[in-house]
Amino acid sequence: MQPPIPVPSQLASAPFTLKEARAAGLAHPQLWNRVGIESVSQGIYRPANWEFDLEAAARSLSAATPGAWISHVTAAKLHGFPLPPWLSDSNELHLSKPRNLPSVRRKGVTGHTLVVSNGEIELVRGTWISTRPRTWLDLARVLPLKELVCIGDALIRIPRPDFEERATPFTTLDALRAMVDRHKNLQGVVRAREALDLMRIGADSVPESMLRLAMLDAGLPEPELQARLYLSDPFSPSADLGYRKQRVAIQYDGGHHLEEEQMLSDRRRDKAFKAAGWTVLVFDKADLTDDFGAAVRQIKKVLRGAWVDPAVESGFARGN
């Protein structure tokens, strides 16, 4: 009996296609007799001891299916979307094809047949995948409205170059509206339009978006986002949400705010607002779990009791 030949190193750590196997020196008949190699799907193989990795699985699926692209929940996870808990741990594999190609028929893969326009599909690290804006639109058929708004807010937010590896948003409201208009018959397009009307630039996290939406649902006025204490000072401390006339600053402090350095920064921020005569309201994960019900009641109570001194209001409007 001929001893098994070691699997080439470039094929030993992730799924691979038949084309890649041949390029590595493995003929097709050898694959079936090879110790430690399993067939996953037509034209796709994997090491038997491979631990599932969504990006590697998506790459091999894309490589083995010419003309198709990774989409929907799979694309959302690979793009790092802030998905709701019931989707964040998903390892679903979604693959889309244009209508002129046969539909996807692979075990364990959810197939879609879609119409796409130029610029809605991209090649990322060897994988054909729907762009972030197009992925957002595809998710409109499965995500509730608020979750769709939260992801949209994340796509249009202005990044902070000091902390991120980019200086421009992933997309803009105008670009999203144009894309939605191109796909008037797509399932979920009505919800996408509703989400666009609710999206705002300035939310730095999903909880901040959820808090704003809870406030609007409760009939509160639209808050200012990233409200600087002094408008003319770009280094002024800012509130996540705020009502400038009523001098009410609203903060959502997530998990990273428990770090000592961040706690000191938060205290300096809140102290500056209070010294300027603002009421500071701080909410956290417990309020998020409560869907911000108690938070909204507290905000309403504070706003009802707020009194605006015209002279102070005029001063802050000038950035003094």
In tens, the pLDDT along 183-214 reads: 999 999 999 999 999 999 999 999 999 999 99
Q: Over range 112-131, report the average pLDDT.
A: 96
What count of other Cβ atoms lies within 10 Å of the Cβ of residue 290?
13
| H helix intervals, 259-292 | 260-275, 285-289
Q: What is the pLDDT of residue 274?
A: 96
In tens, the pLDDT along 282-320 reads: 999 999 999 999 999 999 999 998 655 544 444 444 444
In tens, the pLDDT along 211-221 reads: 999 999 999 99
Task: Report how far residue 116's alpha carbon sits from residue 96's, in angstroms, rounded to the nearest whole number.
Answer: 10
In tens, the pLDDT along 1-47 reads: 555 666 777 787 888 888 888 888 777 666 666 667 888 888 888 88
One-letter amino acid identity for 67?
A: G
* Closest to 135 measured CA to CA, from 79, 185, 191, 67: 79
CB 154 within 8 A of CB 139: no
Task: Report how far residue 108's alpha carbon sits from residue 78's, in angstroms, rounded to the nearest whole number.
Answer: 18
Residues 6+ apart with CB under 8 A from 67: 97, 98, 101
Q: What is the pLDDT of residue 311?
A: 47
- Would you give the distance in Å from CA 287 to the centre of its chain? 21
**C-alpha distances in angstroms, 275 versus 225, 254, 314?**
21, 24, 17
Among all chains, which residue has been given the structure tokens 């902390």?
A: 163
Name the pTM for this structure: 0.87
Is the confidence at residue 165, as pLDDT, over 80? yes
Radius of gyration over alpha carbons of the chain, in Å?
A: 25
Spell 255-277 as b/e; 16+ CB within 10 A means b: eeeeeeeeeeebeebbebbeebe
Task: Report how far residue 221's alpha carbon sits from residue 318's, in angstroms, rounded to the nearest whole number.
Answer: 22
Q: What is the pLDDT of residue 307?
A: 52
Domains of the chain listed by start with CATH number: 1-51 (no CATH), 54-201 (no CATH), 203-320 (3.40.960.10)
